[in-house]
């Protein structure tokens, strides 16, 4: 069995591009050039209180195709009723020096802003209020120790083990949702300064993360 991360914008598969083509809730026309992030504490849970940790930390780079699948392995054969993970790094994993090699080490978060690592580097371009095509960077992290990581938990029904097929569980990441619900995030407010040193912006993005992820229906892929 494996988990597959499907990056979407609404109903469309995300296309990495430089030319703004998507429209967010604030009406910004935007493009995603780079999307890099960490998940942590990825755990399957069963009805009888068993749990299986799939990864303590997991790095994703959409543009480079890194980390788009999370293998479950043979010990994952069985029945599971819940999947939980953290978007970003849970505090126990967000420690200075935790990652010694690239690409993970390149996610380092400035010591002066609390240290540890970026939870996400979401970079792209958009058309600003002056009608200029400009770059933006939404960099999320535990600014000065802020609890901006997002624990997620999903009920599911997985019965695996007997089938000839590979069981595949899609995890959908809807990029548009970073910009909405409960807070409308307008890139005009942030593209000049970024958000790294802005606790209000970190909170806005953190709150919006609650429904960015969803779990799809299990698929069987013939071997
Ligand atoms: Cu940054």
What is the 195 CA–ligand 1 centroid distance (Å)? 8
Give 180-195 pLDDT, tens digit per residue.
999 999 999 999 999 9
Q: Grade residue 73 by pLDDT with cuts at 50, 70 and 90.
A: confident
What is the 194 CA–ligand 1 centroid distance (Å)? 8
Give 139-158 pLDDT, tens digit per residue.
999 999 999 999 999 999 88
- Tell me how long the chain is: 223
Q: Grade residue 119 by pLDDT with cuts at 50, 70 and 90.
A: very high
Cα 58 from Cα 39, distance rounded (Å): 5
What is the 144 CA–ligand 1 centroid distance (Å)? 13
Cα 178 from Cα 174, distance rounded (Å): 8
Is the pLDDT reported for residue 4 higher than 90?
Answer: yes
Structural contact between residues 195 and 112, judged by C-beta atoms closer than 8 angstroms: no
What is the 129 CA–ligand 1 centroid distance (Å)? 24
What is the 14 CA–ligand 1 centroid distance (Å)? 22
* Mean pLDDT, range 164-178, rounded to an integer: 92
What is the 24 CA–ligand 1 centroid distance (Å)? 22
Mean pLDDT of the chain: 95
Confidence at residue 78, expressed as pLDDT on a 0 to 100 scale: 86
Question: Taking the alpha carbons of 32, 9, 61, 90 in that order, is the dihedral positive or negative?
Answer: positive
Give 32-67 pLDDT, tens digit per residue.
999 999 999 999 999 999 999 999 999 999 999 999
Cα 51 from Cα 83, distance rounded (Å): 9
Confidence at residue 162, expressed as pLDDT on a 0 to 100 scale: 58
Q: Grade residue 165 by pLDDT with cuts at 50, 70 and 90.
A: confident
Query: What whole-number percentage of the chain has pLDDT above 90?
Result: 89
Structural contact between residues 14 and 31, judged by C-beta atoms closer than 8 angstroms: no
Is the pLDDT reported for residue 163 higher than 70?
Answer: no
Confidence at residue 223, expressed as pLDDT on a 0 to 100 scale: 73
Q: Grade residue 220 by pLDDT with cuts at 50, 70 and 90.
A: confident
Confidence at residue 20, expressed as pLDDT on a 0 to 100 scale: 98
């Amino acid at each position: 069995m494996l988990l597959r991360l499907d990056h979407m914008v609404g109903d469309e598969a995300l296309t990495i591009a430089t030319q703004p083509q998507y429209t967010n809730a604030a009406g910004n026309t935007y493009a995603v050039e780079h999307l890099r992030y960490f998940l942590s504490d990825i755990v399957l849970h069963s009805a009888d209180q068993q749990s299986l940790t799939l990864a303590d930390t997991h790095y994703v780079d959409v543009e480079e195709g890194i980390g788009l699948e999370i293998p479950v392995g043979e010990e994952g054969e069985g029945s599971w009723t819940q999947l939980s993970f953290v978007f970003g790094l849970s505090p126990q994993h967000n420690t200075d020096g935790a990652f010694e090699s690239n690409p993970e080490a390149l996610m380092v978060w400035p010591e002066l802003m609390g240290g540890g690592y970026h939870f996400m580097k979401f970079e792209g371009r958009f058309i600003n209020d002056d009608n200029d095509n400009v770059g933006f960077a939404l960099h999320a992290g535990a600014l000065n120790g802020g609890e901006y990581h997002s624990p997620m938990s999903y009920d599911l029904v997985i019965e695996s083990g007997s089938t000839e097929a590979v069981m595949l569980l899609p995890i959908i990441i809807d990029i548009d949702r970073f910009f909405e619900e409960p807070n409308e995030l307008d890139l005009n407010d942030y593209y000049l300064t970024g958000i790294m040193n802005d606790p209000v912006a970190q909170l806005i993005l953190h709150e919006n993360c609650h429904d960015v992820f969803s779990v799809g229906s299990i698929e069987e892929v013939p071997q």
